[in-house]
Chains A and B, each alone.
Chain A
């Protein structure tokens, strides 16, 4: 099984390879072609540096493995992974609904759903820690600071 240092180096190797491919495709304007430094120069340098460091990291892992094959993966339970994944999804849904249904409704729903996902089951806490927060924050932003927040494209 891959240890996490090797996996990290491989991920970066893939990223920097893709970055290098795109860096070499940066279109140059006619006046840039004769310049010593153009729009593509620095990205090419970064791509080369990234590739060098990720290859060095892979090499270091290969050398280390000859002496020590410690894995070092952190212990994470499935429930925590599930909670984190659902929270990420919840943030995505909140972002998608923020403008269509408005700040107040989206935020109240986001906070109470989040508390629920994280194990809070007391309905009073779910409501009291979400709706007042959304309302108070909305009042501060719109009335005190004078910043316009979309009330909801679906209703306006």
Chain B
């Protein structure tokens, strides 16, 4: 492992990669601060740029953007009570009251330190967990992968917002159906191309990511303008970013506990930063002495430190299934998986052996990203926060422009842009109907892998489906997927029974 860490360090510390991580953190913070725009959009906008650089640098840039966007989301949560992403909603519960009390600088410093510590603990656990899990997963066969992917797809739907399970499942299947467009790689048969040669290669993942996230989010902000709860016309007074010894002592145990909790939740497919931050917030409130419990929601330092450390640790944790099994647990890691596949790199148990530079550089760059956020972004927050008063027209048009031209520069085919506009319209309507977008992306990206692994599994079993229950491991994962699938349905039936 030491060799791997040294290899990762030597890759991540190359001057151009350091520049990429710094640039990524800045761009991510900038985009993450904008209400309504999250890490998925930020990363999607970066993908065309990463195509022109080598895979390690591309992943380093995207990891920087990811952490920057999470930090940017916390900043807008604290300063104007408008979380850029769901994962930072819990940060606004106590962050915004602190800012209103004139302690915005302190709140931002707590957010940065908690994120840094959460990210550091997460990175350390990732270094320990990923190689071990990668070794174990070397024994996985095609049927196990199919089972794992089914578990991943059902879990992301089960962990989606309350009452949206069936919507998430429909979106997942919608994503799976889109992955079947084009020439079938096994037989060469055309599927769903309707005689259009532009569809023979299928639909590009970049097109889907850009249209359903970047374009649809920008258009959705025009359609449903966010009600600004803070006074964003004039930047808030930031105040001191220094923390006293007593404050550090108060939040330290919280950060430790929440980081551990966040990492564990992040590793679970589908759970991610949002659930981690809410669970850490609730756990800390329950653990706090009675007198401190009452401060939660009114500007508690613990109440801010808990979700901040948990969401960052969860972001790191979500890389475990991606790097070791090649299965993304969230929309953001699904985008990264798509980017890796586009580079010709297949994440999974062999990644550590075949591309150790990419594997370790990603892990090390996560840590570097946290350092950059702490020493560069935090002092610059008063200046970066000015993005919140930038005219909406300029921001919206820039996102539309970069999304369209980003896809064009990769394919040089205007048919892709027309298709993108069509998908953006569909995504916009689905957003209005409260359908979640991440399951679509996950379904689309996993679609090809499910099909190829399913075919391989069926070939090895001579066409017998029993391969999915013959081995205890496959059977166990399948049963878990069925339980995850049945849980929301059972809870719906229980609620109905209670209502009657």
Contacts and interface: CB of A to CB of B under 8 A. Distances in A.
A, B from the same assembly: yes
Interface in B421-460: 421, 424-425, 428-430, 432-435, 450-451, 454-455, 458-459
A50 B401 contact: no
Nearest to A67: B499
User: Which residue of A26, A37, A76, A129 has the most chain B CB atoms within 10 A of its CB atom?
Assistant: A37
Interface in A1-54: 4-5, 7-9, 11-12, 15-16, 19, 22, 26-29, 31-32, 35-40, 42-43, 46-47, 49-50, 53-54
Contacts of A133: 398, 401
A60 B428 contact: no
B397 A98 contact: no
A154 interface: no
Interface string B391-411: 111101110110011001100
Nearest to A6: B433
A72 B463 CA distance: 47
A8 B421 contact: no
Contact of B187 (A7, A38, A83, A98): A38
Given A29-B189, A91-B421, A115 B173 contact: no
B191 interface: yes
Contacts of B394: 115, 120, 125, 129
Contacts of A11: 429, 433
B223 A111 contact: no
Given A46-B177, A111-B401, A57 B414 contact: no
B177 A99 contact: no
A43 B429 CA distance: 25
A120 B393 contact: yes
Interface of A: 4-5, 7-9, 11-12, 15-16, 19, 22, 26-29, 31-32, 35-40, 42-43, 46-47, 49-50, 53-54, 56-57, 60, 63, 67, 72, 74, 76, 80-81, 83-84, 87-88, 91-92, 94-96, 98-99, 107, 110-111, 114-115, 118-120, 125, 129, 133, 137, 141, 145, 147
25 contacts: A4-B433, A5-B434, A7-B433, A19-B177, A32-B189, A37-B455, A37-B459, A39-B184, A40-B191, A46-B176, A46-B177, A47-B177, A53-B170, A53-B173, A67-B499, A84-B219, A84-B428, A95-B414, A96-B414, A111-B401, A115-B394, A125-B391, A129-B397, A133-B401, A141-B409
